Chain A
């Protein structure tokens, strides 16, 4: 019992180094154990808190696992139809240019049904942030093949693994939007280690600053996992992600502002 007493003595306000952000609500996250969405939500909430953006922010949630994102962050929200978030955000930002506007979309939403809206918003250089969660699968509907499912990956609609001759190739949307003149900052990150969480948070903070300066579209892909959809434990899922997803979708910046040269562009960083 001495140990328990010791912990109680340690849990004091002055020792608190990690707490719920102001923006996160008390709603219990509906995500599966080990899912990356919770972490991504958390760092987004931290940025909105730290940059004092609550009264300036309009978020656009997608159709997919993060459809209920509006349960968890105490900001104004619009829930878009499947794939249409960039069109919705286009109007919000054009009608209220002084506000901070972002979309948060999964791979099915952004890279399949919403391909057109994504590419055209990025090509017009709409001045908002797109956060793109890529876990290579349709999570909410039960683990079907996504546009980003990597070759050989098993899903409920590619039960023998994705055969690219039959099912076509995965789509690297982040690489595509990086080539468009309207995008200003395009990066691919992950949230599966503390170091990666910090890098992703840094990327979101940069995107907030660029939006204030009217620089154009910022696009942050977050490579994530789906333990339930992948039929793995959370630990196995992160290991599989490191060994399979990240080599296919290397982490690092794909497009950085000309005035801020970044070596990562030439040498996508290795995952640490």
Chain B
């Protein structure tokens, strides 16, 4: 089947990709800057075509618990929100992780803390990558840097979620969600008819009853379960690391950036190279699992690393851990909804690090 070329916002691309990949259900609540996703789905009305359920919930809390209910039936379900709404979903997310349910959660990040701004930011890295809710768990975190990737990571997200029975978060931001780019969309797929053996679909006489829960009052059994989760996360660390390198081969100065910041830094690399500076860029595509091994290898080849984030410095902690003291690591980035300029990155590199 032919792919179709469209000009779309990142948010619209998520919605269209969800329909085309054969999602069974979407549950959301309006919040800027991602309300286009729910609006697009309501206008597309896929319940009349593919049979996909679309429901505007009464709150983010209800929406994520609808995702729990749908995922526990073995269905392909997703929800989307932005930072304050994602905070509200955290209880549901830890229950989903604890019950080992597959689902896709999209965070179109805006500036915080609190109600913050409605402009793009990358200040939810800790929340997405380090936990967010209570208890020992990890999400698989995908960081799109284009409208195309916002579309592509819907299917990739569902594939990983079902492969590992683990919630997947797409950590986007207000810039990628709102900007328009060309995007290639895959053909419409049928919704899956296969039912995972663990799904709650009504107990036939041929199997034991399925119970979806994250509760175990016996600490010994709970610890066994925690160890099982750790083994799963280690397998994900081993097999699912994704990243992209841009002029890293001969780089002396390595920028590390994801999402919108990676787009900005690509320009910074070009500007730096034009001035004769050997600048390179490593773009993590998966934030969990983090490309720690590759960064550690590159740390043996470069003079320093600079983490560029639209935050006060969150991913820089993972860069530091990966580098493990081999070379100096710095952080630079604008905050509060302001997108870093490519020239600012280069200026910081030259004045504060190379000359400084």
Contact = CB atoms under 8 A, between A and B. Distances in A.
Interface of A: 54-58, 60, 67, 70, 74-81, 84, 87-92, 94-96, 99-100, 116-117, 120
Nearest to A77: B211
Given A58-B73, A94-B55, A120-B58, A76 B92 contact: no
B340 to A, nearest CB: 38
Contacts of B57: 87, 120
B65 A95 contact: no
Contacts of A91: 25, 27, 53, 55, 65-70, 73, 77
Contacts of A79: 99, 211-215
B69 A76 contact: no
Nearest to A61: B213
B69 A89 contact: yes
Given A87-B57, A95-B73, A77 B65 contact: no
A57 B65 contact: no
Across chains A and B, which 3 residue pairs bring their CB atoms closest together, nearest first? A91-B69, A88-B69, A79-B213
A92 B69 contact: yes
**Residues of B in contact with A, size category:** 35 or more
Contact of A78 (B25, B69, B92): B69
Contacts of B188: none
Contacts of A95: 24-25, 53, 69-70, 73, 75, 77
Interface stretch (B197-205, B263-271, B348-356): B197-205
Q: Which of B61, B69, B202 has the most CB of A within 10 A?
A: B69
Contacts of A76: 200-203, 209-211
Contacts of B62: 84, 87, 90, 116-117, 120
A87 B203 contact: no
B205 A55 contact: yes
A126 to B, nearest CB: 10
B134 to A, nearest CB: 12
Given A77-B209, A94-B53, A87 B202 contact: no
B8 interface: no
Contacts of A75: 202-203, 209
A99 B73 CA distance: 11
Contact of A58 (B67, B200, B213): B200
Contact of B202 (A57, A70, A89, A120): A57
B18 interface: no
Nearest to A120: B58
B247 interface: no
B201 A81 contact: no
Interface of B: 24-25, 27, 53, 55, 57-59, 61-63, 65-70, 72-73, 75, 77, 91-92, 95, 99, 200-205, 209-215
A116 B59 contact: yes
A69 to B, nearest CB: 10
Contacts of B205: 55
A88 B202 contact: no
B218 to A, nearest CB: 12
A88 B73 CA distance: 10
A120 B55 CA distance: 12
Given A91-B77, A120-B62, A81 B69 contact: no
A252 B204 CA distance: 36
B201 A77 contact: no
30 contacts: A54-B202, A54-B203, A55-B202, A70-B209, A70-B211, A74-B203, A76-B202, A76-B210, A77-B200, A77-B209, A78-B68, A78-B69, A78-B212, A79-B215, A80-B68, A80-B69, A81-B95, A84-B62, A87-B61, A87-B62, A87-B69, A90-B69, A91-B55, A91-B66, A91-B69, A92-B200, A96-B73, A99-B201, A117-B58, A120-B58
Contacts of A89: 69
A78 B96 CA distance: 11
B212 A90 contact: no
Given A81-B91, A91-B66, A56 B209 contact: no
Nearest to A71: B211
Contacts of A88: 65-66, 68-69, 72
A87 B58 CA distance: 9
A26 to B, nearest CB: 13
A77 B208 CA distance: 11
A99 B210 CA distance: 15
B213 A77 contact: yes
A121 to B, nearest CB: 8
A77 B212 contact: yes
Contacts of A80: 65, 68-69
A190 B62 CA distance: 30
A183 B194 CA distance: 33
Contact of A84 (B65, B72, B201): B65
Contacts of A120: 57-58, 62
Contacts of B27: 91
A144 B65 CA distance: 26
A74 B202 CA distance: 10
Contacts of B213: 70, 77-79
Contacts of A70: 209, 211, 213
Q: Which of A54, A95, A100 has the most CB of B within 10 A?
A: A95
B245 to A, nearest CB: 41
B66 A90 contact: yes
